[in-house]
Chains A and B, each alone.
Chain A
């Protein structure tokens, strides 16, 4: 069954971003799939209207990793360049560098800004830049790589994890030889008092360069001062690199089950476009595989997609009505789900796809939904006003509300039995367009199926409590459902 127009829009926005918010959806719905995709891929002309302090105000401290996390979450949630942020995360996961190893927030910021600037750019530029990036040079010991003691760490991972794939077209000997091309690569550890260089600038300590002729992939690589760059270019041009990147992009954006024709097309674009990432993505997102029924909702939401998705889809606002993220909550809950930005668990990055499932993560997700919906402080909702949200749908019947919420939260992709369960949960399907349009369910069904009038419940402390219980429950059942965990 082909996707409906709205489902295709939701699908595109979910995969290319972290939500979407209601306004993002409405805009894309008006523009259509192609125009939206073009805007996501070619975002240079978009003027960001983001708060320059990333929503953190004067308290922002760039040396605190949790502030950097919050600032990035802010961009992920509210940047108009959603695909750029998604790809920045993709590359953060690809070149997985941890603050734990780097121990310098300045270097981490520098790396993420570099990834963001080149996220949709050219892979050759990206690979050369990351190889000379100070955080990377710390992570994979490039800074320690010297003539007399070549360090193989970067040489191995640049092939295994960044370009070719494990054991895919290189030998142990290639690793040893390649390591020698990066000997003497260093970065400045402080600013030059005379102003000739800044902390983090790349340089080559020529006295530590290995000057022998290397043989890599069966071809001689004679010494030259830029032997490392020459080797990187061999990787960029290696026939396995486009294929490796295409597979990884396919899994990240489309589905775990590879469609070989699409991967081949994306790999072909890699070469024909001169290594353009945006061009590869365009091939990917316009492929029949992307809009196929088997790709739709076939990915397990990662913790970012889940938590930021909640924040954006529910449209959380602060006291002045501005879109907001409950930072301590989201940062803490991301950690609970195992995705601490700037701190991937290993050089391989985070788990992906179904590996995000598990009894504890699913229980945790349900409890996160519960907290977001139900937490109160001083008699008011801490994060989210469910009644206001449901009022804003303009629905005044149980049927209408269930349909609208399912449309907004899970693209209306629910079975008849799921819908029936939700309606039974709400109770008798009576119109309740009283009280200024506020949705007030009149009764609940007890466990045994008998009607329990709300009058038998404890009297509500506030109007909000009394009206909110059912709509909060309805939202809980949709957001904690298995369907919602799928992207």
Chain B
């Protein structure tokens, strides 16, 4: 059995691409009208996971402005009440998140509060693995999204019909979340890099001949007696050639109109737009940005006076907000806004008390965001409970992260959470 089936371009699109032309506007608009149906069919739905690596300071993201405990514990780095953007009587937004707030005000953002898991682990690697595998009790080698991908064609939820690539890791590595036996989720750093390079010294005709000969070889039984894995190797290899050709075609025919940040989440989300436009049937995209491990100088200081609304953490949040806004706008441009849900997470939050270095140490529970028009916007869960900190004086979790995963799997991807997560977790009703 082929690991992935194939979906061809619309004939017109492929024809135009082969001529190296851009589709005329009337064709694009028609496509948009067809695809922007009010309720996105399950097969068209896309999940974008945004990993904030390092442990995001949740308390300085959704700021508990109504709690004196917060200000008492963070004399140097707390976001002042007046600087926070209004959310509720007791909570405010970090001022860098104005664009996310605007989306929240349009009911496109769910804030899930105090997400975590029992007996929180404060090791980056272990806690990240726990989030990736949805298994806090012991190390396992299979990720939750990998498990979803491996099962989504076998009765667990509706498969994306004829997907060429079920999932992409956009970045430099494949996260454990996408690991699974027998299905290799591809990693892509940029659309341009996913191409078969050729001999730069050779003339064009020669290079074309080399590529066509390679394709010919890939279509043959290359040895007298086919070996174990020879067919599989050839199939996947041929898949790589097809995918790279589609991606190069899309790279040549489509340039996102929005301007994305050039660092952090900007480039990978821009690449996700190109991959969506390549129409490979992909349902899962995974992007990462690091730098959230803000043990020191998470806020700026001038002349010894901290400036809590600027600095490293503020820049990270700005990058997140700018990148997401550009992404959502571009999705609107290409008529896929209704089809996308974004899930953010970090391996843990940070300690309530700040440290002596204008930073915070590893903590436990923190809020996360689910973003996109299909989301039932609002605030889920209670405010952080400052009266009931854990032994390390960290915020305790109230919503298990697997409840968030379960909701995504069931209500967005149309899958069976129990199969993927190995257990039942109360859903959080954030999908409209």
Mark A residues whose CB is within 8 Å of B.
1, 100-101, 255-257, 293-294, 296-300, 338, 345-348, 353-355, 357-363, 366-367, 370-371, 373-374, 376, 413-415, 417-418, 421-422, 424-425, 444-447, 452, 457-458, 461, 465, 468-469, 472-473, 476-477, 480-483, 485-486
Contacts and interface: CB of A to CB of B under 8 A. Distances in A.
Contact of A482 (B210, B212, B228, B230): B230
B229 A354 contact: yes
A98 to B, nearest CB: 9
A359 B186 contact: yes
A400 B203 CA distance: 25
B402 to A, nearest CB: 21
Nearest to A446: B205
Interface stretch (B232-240, B260-268, B299-307, B374-382): B232-240
Contact of B139 (A347, A354, A445): A347
A472 B205 CA distance: 15
A476 B184 contact: no
Nearest to A419: B222
Interface stretch (B191-199, B250-258, B403-411): B191-199
A360 B220 contact: no
Most buried by B among A413, A468, A473: A473
Question: Lowest 10 CB-CB distances: which A-B pairs, in order?
Answer: A358-B184, A359-B240, A298-B228, A360-B186, A482-B233, A425-B213, A297-B227, A482-B234, A374-B199, A457-B203
B227 to A, nearest CB: 4
B221 A476 contact: no
A359 to B, nearest CB: 4
Given A363-B195, A482-B230, 14 more contacts: A358-B236, A359-B165, A359-B236, A359-B240, A414-B222, A415-B220, A418-B217, A425-B209, A425-B210, A446-B209, A469-B203, A473-B202, A473-B206, A486-B233
Interface residues of B, number: 53
B230 A483 contact: yes
A445 B210 CA distance: 10
A100 B212 contact: no
Contacts of B196: 363, 366-367, 370
A413 B213 contact: no
Contacts of B188: 360
Contact of A363 (B200, B218, B221, B240): B240
A440 B207 CA distance: 18
A468 B243 CA distance: 30
Nearest to A457: B203
B26 interface: no
A300 B236 contact: no
A348 B139 CA distance: 10
Contacts of B202: 469, 472-473
Contact of B227 (A366, A425, A486): A486
Contacts of B236: 357-359, 362
B223 A414 contact: yes
B208 interface: yes
15 contacts: A101-B125, A300-B233, A357-B184, A357-B236, A360-B187, A362-B233, A366-B196, A374-B199, A413-B224, A421-B217, A421-B220, A425-B210, A452-B205, A481-B217, A482-B234
Given A370-B198, A421-B216, A361 B184 contact: yes
Contacts of B195: 363
A243 B38 CA distance: 59
A418 B184 CA distance: 27
Given A1-B225, A354-B229, A482-B218, A472 B197 contact: no
A370 B197 contact: yes
A300 B229 contact: yes
A361 B218 CA distance: 16
Contacts of B174: 338
Contacts of A458: 203
A298 B229 contact: yes
Most buried by B among A338, A445, A486: A486
B199 A418 contact: no
A373 B199 contact: yes
B244 interface: yes
B228 A417 contact: no
Interface of B: 125, 139, 141, 165, 174, 176, 181-182, 184-188, 194-203, 205-206, 208-210, 212-214, 216-218, 220-225, 227-230, 232-234, 236-237, 239-240, 243-244
A447 B209 contact: yes
A130 to B, nearest CB: 19
Given A255-B228, A358-B186, A482-B233, A413 B209 contact: no
Contacts of A100: 125
A476 B199 contact: yes
B227 A296 contact: yes
Contacts of A367: 196-197
Contacts of A447: 205, 208-209, 212
A360 B240 contact: yes
A367 B237 CA distance: 13
B139 A374 contact: no
B222 A418 contact: yes
B271 to A, nearest CB: 14
Contact of A415 (B141, B176, B209, B221): B221
Given A360-B188, A415-B221, A469-B201, A348 B214 contact: no
Contact of B201 (A294, A362, A415, A465): A465
A486 B229 contact: yes
Contacts of A482: 217-218, 222, 230, 233-234, 237
B216 to A, nearest CB: 5
Contacts of A376: 201
A26 to B, nearest CB: 24
A444 B205 CA distance: 9
B311 to A, nearest CB: 28
A425 B222 CA distance: 16
A421 B225 contact: no
B223 A346 contact: no
Contacts of B206: 444, 457, 469, 473
Contacts of B233: 300, 357, 362, 482, 485-486
Contacts of B229: 298-300, 353-354, 357, 486
A347 to B, nearest CB: 7
B223 A297 contact: yes
Contacts of A366: 196-197, 214, 240
B199 A472 contact: yes
A468 B199 CA distance: 10
Contacts of A358: 184-186, 236
Nearest to B164: A359
Contacts of A481: 214, 217, 222
B223 A483 contact: yes
B127 to A, nearest CB: 14
A414 B194 CA distance: 28
A287 B258 CA distance: 63
Contacts of A101: 125
B198 to A, nearest CB: 7
A374 B202 CA distance: 10
A386 B360 CA distance: 57
A366 B139 CA distance: 34
A482 B232 CA distance: 9
Contacts of A338: 174
A12 B233 CA distance: 22
Contact of B184 (A347, A355, A472): A355
Contacts of A296: 227
A293 B225 CA distance: 9
A369 to B, nearest CB: 10
A455 to B, nearest CB: 11
Contacts of A418: 217, 220, 222-223
A446 B239 CA distance: 25
Contacts of A444: 205-206, 209
Nearest to B183: A358
B199 A473 contact: yes
A447 B187 CA distance: 32
A477 B186 contact: no
